[in-house]
């Protein structure tokens, strides 16, 4: 069941109702509360995502998972769109693929993503997506913003130059760890993830040092100290497990 933590459960969807629809001309079946993205992945149909992570609430914000639905003028983010009976979804039209590439390029221009000196080089989701989608160059001007590195935490560091503002760190810290150390400040192009009230991570009193934020970060923005170029490999095995345990716990509370 698509479980969105913190009351984000879609009460308008009925998990006991089943339906069939088409993704890229393939007939698929789904429960009403499964997103198009979930169903596509169950059927081996790849849709690129960046802000989505199994086990965290959905934001629908990176816009990489947009798909076309026949008869609907707007492009829909598949992570928060639920299928309807006989819906026809197209995940890989030239139009959406081009849009995805351009969005990735915009993300590259937003901060200073210099792969060759990045701890996550070779293990980076942004990098992998670009390779998959065939992004060979960036057609927009780089913005070259000035961003600092915060290495005040004893075990981890944050490099805002690599951040793509997916807010996985904010969500995992709030929804899974329950600490809510991370949040976001500013708006628009000046947005920035912060710890506590924008103080150095090392002085953030709410941080439990669990490191979940580091493991879910798609790029080299959050990393463990002591890792050199290309050495930071993220381990996310804990998420589905914790999510499952949380689910069980919640069920037992409801009884």
Partner 1 sequence: MTLNIEDLHQIAKIEQDTQQGFQHRINVCVAAGCLSCGSGVVKDALAREVGKRGLDNWCQVKGVGCLGLCTAGPLIALEVGGRFYQGVKVADVADIVEALGASPVDRLLYPDDSAFFQRQLRIVTENCGRIDPERIEEYIAESGYEGLYLALTQMTRQEVLGQVTESGLRGRGGAGFPTGLKWTTVAKTVDSTKFVICNADEGDPGAFMDRSVLESDPHRVIEGMAVAGYATGASQGFIYVRAEYPLAVKRVRMALSQAERMGILGNNIFNTNFSFNIKVRLGAGAFVCGEETALIASIEGRMGRPRPRPPFPAEYGLWEHPTLINNVETFANIPPIIRHGGKWFAGIGTEKSKGTKVFALAGKIVNTGLIEVPMGMPLREIVYEIGGGIPEGKRFKAVQTGGPSGGCIPQQFLDMPVDYDSLMQVGSIMGSGGMIVMDESSCMVDVAKFFMEFCMSESCGKCAPCRVGTRQIYDILCKITAGGATTEDLATLEDLCDLVKHTSLCGLGQSAPNPVLTTLNYFRDEYLAHIHDKKCLAGACKTAKEVS
- Where along the sequence are the contacts to partner 1 (CB under 8 A)? 7, 10-12, 59-63, 66, 74-75, 77, 80-81, 99, 102-103, 106-107, 109-110, 139-141, 143, 164-165, 184, 186-191
Least CB distance to partner 1 at residue 226 (A): 31
Strand locations in the chain, DSSP E?
Answer: 18-23, 26-31, 66-69, 76-77, 88-90, 149-150, 156-159, 182-185, 192-195, 222-224
Give me the least distance between CB of 150 and partner 1, in Å please.
20
CB neighbourhood size of 92 (10 A): 15
Report the candidate in 92, 88, 90 with the shortest Cα–Cα distance to residue 100: 92
Q: Which is nearer to partner 1, 74 or 137 (CB)?
A: 74
Q: Classify residue 210 by burial, with Cβ atoms within 10 Å: 0-12, 13-18, 19+.
A: middle
Question: Least CB distance from residue 24 to partner 1, whole Å?
Answer: 20
Given the complex with partner 1, which of 138 and 151 has the nearer CB atom? 138
186 or 200: CB nearest partner 1: 186
166-to-2, 161, 185, 252 alpha-carbon distances in Å? 20, 14, 14, 32
- Of 153 and 165, which CB lies nearer to partner 1 in the complex structure? 165
CB of 237 to partner 1, least distance (A): 28
Nearest to partner 1 of 47, 156 (CB atom): 47
Tell me how far, at minimum, the Cβ of 80 lies from partner 1, in Å. Answer: 5
Radius of gyration, CA atoms only, the chain = 19
Surface-to-core class of residue 94, CB atoms within 10 Å of its CB (0-12 exposed, 13-18 middle, 19+ buried): exposed
> Using CA atoms, how far apart are residues 201 and 203, in angstroms rounded to an integer?
5
Minimum separation from the CB atom of position 165 to partner 1 (A)? 7
* CB nearer partner 1, residue 61 or residue 229: 61
């Amino acid at each position: 069941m698509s479980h969105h933590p913190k009351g984000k459960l879609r009460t308008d969807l009925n998990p006991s109702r089943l339906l069939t629809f088409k993704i890229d001309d393939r007939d698929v079946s789904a429960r009403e509360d499964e997103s198009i993205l979930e169903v596509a992945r169950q059927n081996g149909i790849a849709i690129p995502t960046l802000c989505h992570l199994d086990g965290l609430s959905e934001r629908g914000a990176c816009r990489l998972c947009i798909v076309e639905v026949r008869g609907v003028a707007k492009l829909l983010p598949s992570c928060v769109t639920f299928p309807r009976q006989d819906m026809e979804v197209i995940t890989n039209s030239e139009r959406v693929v081009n849009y995805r590439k351009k969005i990735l390029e915009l993300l590259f221009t937003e901060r200073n993503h210099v792969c060759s000196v990045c701890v996550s080089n070779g293990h980076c989701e942004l990098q992998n997506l670009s390779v998959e989608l065939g992004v060979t160059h960036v057609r927009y001007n780089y913005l070259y913003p000035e961003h600092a590195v915060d290495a005040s935490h004893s075990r981890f560091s944050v490099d805002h130059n690599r951040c793509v503002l997916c807010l996985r760190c904010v969500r995992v810290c709030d929804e899974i760890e329950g600490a809510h150390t991370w949040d976001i400040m500013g708006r628009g192009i000046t947005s920035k993830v912060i710890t506590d009230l924008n103080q150095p991570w090392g002085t953030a009193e709410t941080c439990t040092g669990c490191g979940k934020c580091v493991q879910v970060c798609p790029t080299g923005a959050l990393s463990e100290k002591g890792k050199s170029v290309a050495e930071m490999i993220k381990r996310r095995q804990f998420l589905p497990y914790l999510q499952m345990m949380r689910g069980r716990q919640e069920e037992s509370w409801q009884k």
